[in-house]
Amino acid sequence: MPLPPLSLYIHIPWCVAKCPYCDFHSLARRGPLPEGPYVRALLDDLDRSQAALRGRKIQTIFFGGGTPSLFAGAAVGEILEGVNRRATLEADCEITLEANPGTIDSRRFQAFREAGVTRLSLGVQSLHDPSLRRLGRIHNARDAYDAMEAAAGAGFRSFNIDLMYGLPDQTAAKALADVRAALAVDPPHLSLYELTIEAHTAFAHDPPVLPSEDERMAIEDAVTQAAGAAGYDRYEVSAYTRPGYRCAHNLNYWRFGDYLGLGAGAHSKLTGPEGVTRVARIADPARYMGDHDRIASRRLMARRDVVFEFLLNALRLTEGFSQDLLYARTGYDFTDLESLWAHAVTRSLLWREGDWIRTTPLGRRFLDALLAEFLAITEIMPAEVS
Ligand SMILES: C[S@@+](CC[C@H](N)C(=O)[O-])C[C@H]1O[C@@H](n2cnc3c(N)ncnc32)[C@H](O)[C@@H]1O
Ligand code: SF4
């Protein structure tokens, strides 16, 4: 069986300030960033991860965070040169970098482009100043417009705008105004995330008043319809694109491809002869830079967990998944997992058409509940390793 496509994820764990809703591995920087030592640690980590690369090309690279745009273009260039020396990149390798509008200017964007970045992802979140303040963002709407304009003019192949909805005090009209303002910039790609209150965040300790369940439904309908009416294709639960601009890196996650994650707190999913292994790097940047043993945990997955995680990802895609993809990633075909689909198809939550399975609009709306059912079923499957 051929191995899945391989992506590279590079985690930059620092931000200017920690946002109260964020549970990503990130911490507020104190003083200048240790760019040199961190770049050396990343490349040393890659040297020690050669077994994962053997014979495989890297399809996509993603600098995520934290706030990768805090790094200078030269540091990003050094990382990419180092990766190029140690690995083979696919000819049209998509290289994305996440940027916070409070940390960039057009010169910095130009430097990222010259370093080899092909795609930017801008964390705009909202274009309404009171919402940005409530979210603890370090930028205002003016900064976000400037960043979007600079991204559009810097010659990247593509750029994405992240917006959040269901914000404190938000109404459907306000959410719609946010999305329409972002659409007016005509981004090739748009991500619309409903704000979730994650455990261990400042918002979890001191929760803001969120719109009611009914209001949240109305907001979701309004924002998804606005993106659709503007000609964007909703190809994943939160991702909207102009034709030809899907995010290849995220598509590899959703199709349950492999990825090597480098950097403090980064996660990997790698397939080998023994099965699918999940690896986590130590999250503390000082220890990540100071220690050659950077692995916090390594776990060979049980086959039933592989099935569940495949569904967790692939059912997010509007296209769903084919029997061939299910078989390639899990070793099961549709008939082996009949107990999963049959009931969901009867209740119009899933469509099964020939060799494809995907969610119906109803299934997409209640995806979390559907996945909870799948989890309960897969948990009682035999626990053989993958
Ligand atoms: C890893 S963050 C990185 C972006 C960059 N650090 C920034 O914030 O500008 C990726 C995106 O996830 C979304 N996000 C983060 N926390 C979220 C939450 N609790 N609920 C919904 N979306 C969230 C935001 O839209 C954010 O831009
Ligand atoms: S800037 Fe982004 S990664 Fe950093 S704390 Fe805020 S949301 Fe999280």
5 pocket-lining for ligand 2 (C-beta < 6 Å)? no
Which residues neighbour 238 within 8 Å (Cβ) at sequence distance 6 or greater?
191, 192, 193, 316
Mutate to test the pocket of ligand 2, among 24, 33, 134, 164 (most ligand atoms within 8 A of CB): 24
Q: Is residue 71 part of a domain?
A: yes
Q: Are residues 225 and 361 in the same domain?
A: no
The tens digit of pLDDT for each residue in 40-60 reads 999 999 999 999 998 899 999
From 23, 67, 138, the mutation candidate for ligand 2 (largest count of ligand atoms within 8 A of CB) is 67
Residue 114 lies in a domain: yes
Regarding whether 335 and 209 lie in a shared domain, the answer is no
For residue 68 and ligand 1, the question of a CB distance below 6 A is answered with no
Let me know whether 231 and 306 are in one domain. Answer: no
Boundary of a domain, candidates 227, 252, 277: 252
Is residue 310 located within the same domain as residue 185?
no
Q: How far apart are CA 255 and CA 122, in angstroms?
A: 24
Cα–Cα distance, 166 to 174 (Å, whole number): 10
Ligand number nearest to the C-alpha of 18 = 2
Q: Rounded CA gap, 223 and 296, in Å?
A: 40
Provide the domain count of the chain: 2
Q: What is the largest CA-CA distance in the chain?
A: 58
CATH number of the domain that residue 79 is part of: 3.20.20.70
Q: Under 8 Å CB-to-CB from 306, ≥6 apart: which residues?
A: 275, 276, 329, 330, 386
Q: Let me know whether 242 and 338 are in one domain.
A: no
> Does 357 lie in the same domain as 246?
no
Domain co-membership, 52 together with 178: yes
Which one of 214, 231, 252 terminates a domain?
252
CATH number, residue 366: 1.10.10.920
Minimal CA–CA distance to 250: which of 269, 267, 236, 266?
236
Which pLDDT score is estimated for 47?
Answer: 97
Q: Indicate which atom in ligand 1 lies nearest the CA of residue 125.
A: 25
- How confident is the model at residue 386, as a pLDDT? 59
- The answer to whether residue 322 is domain-embedded is yes
Residues 352 and 206 in one domain: no
Torsion of CA 46, 52, 58, 64, to 10 degrees: -50
- Which pLDDT belongs to residue 385? 58
Residue 354 maps to a domain: yes
Same domain, 241 and 326: no
| Domain carrying residue 125 | 6-252
Q: Which of 22, 97, 137, when mutated, tests ligand 2's pocket best, judged by the most ligand atoms within 8 Å of its CB?
A: 22
Do 328 and 210 lie in one domain? The reply is no
Q: Distance between CA 251 and CA 274 in Å, rounded?
A: 25
Residue 121: CB within 6 Å of ligand 2? no
Point out the residues of the chain with pLDDT beneath 70: 385-386
Distance between CA 359 and CA 187 in Å, rounded? Answer: 27
Same domain membership, residue 306 and residue 247: no
Got the DSSP string for 211-272? Answer: PPHHHHHHHHHHHHHHHHHTT-EEEETTEEE-TT---HHHHHHHTT-EEEEESTT-EEEEEE
Rounded CA-CA distance 152/248 in Å is 19
Q: Does residue 296 lie within any of the structural domains?
A: no
Please tell me whether residues 226 and 361 are part of one structural domain.
no
pLDDT of residue 157: 94
288 part of a folded domain: no
Q: What's the N-to-C CA distance of the chain in angstroms?
A: 13
The neighbour count for residue 90, using CB atoms within 10 Å, is: 15
Report the nearest atom of ligand 2 relative to the CA of 21: 7
Residue at 230 is within a domain: yes
Determine, yes or no, domain membership for 262: no
Please report which helix (H) or strand (E) contains residue 156, including its range.
Answer: none
How many C-beta atoms surround the C-beta of residue 1 within 10 A? 8
How much of the chain is helix, strand and coil, in % rounded to 5? 40, 25, 35
379: part of which helix (H) or strand (E)?
Answer: helix 367-379
Q: Could you say which of 211, 235, 252 is where a domain stops? A: 252
Closest-approaching ligand to the CA atom of 17: 2
Ligand 1 centroid – CA 368 distance (Å): 19
pLDDT for the residue numbered 105: 77
Instruction: Report which secondary-structure segment, H or E, holds 97.
Output: strand 88-99
Pocket lining: 363 vs ligand 2, CB cutoff 6 Å: no
Q: What's the residue count for the chain?
A: 386
Strand 275-281, strand 119-125: pairing: unpaired
The answer to whether the CB of 18 is under 6 A from ligand 2 is: yes
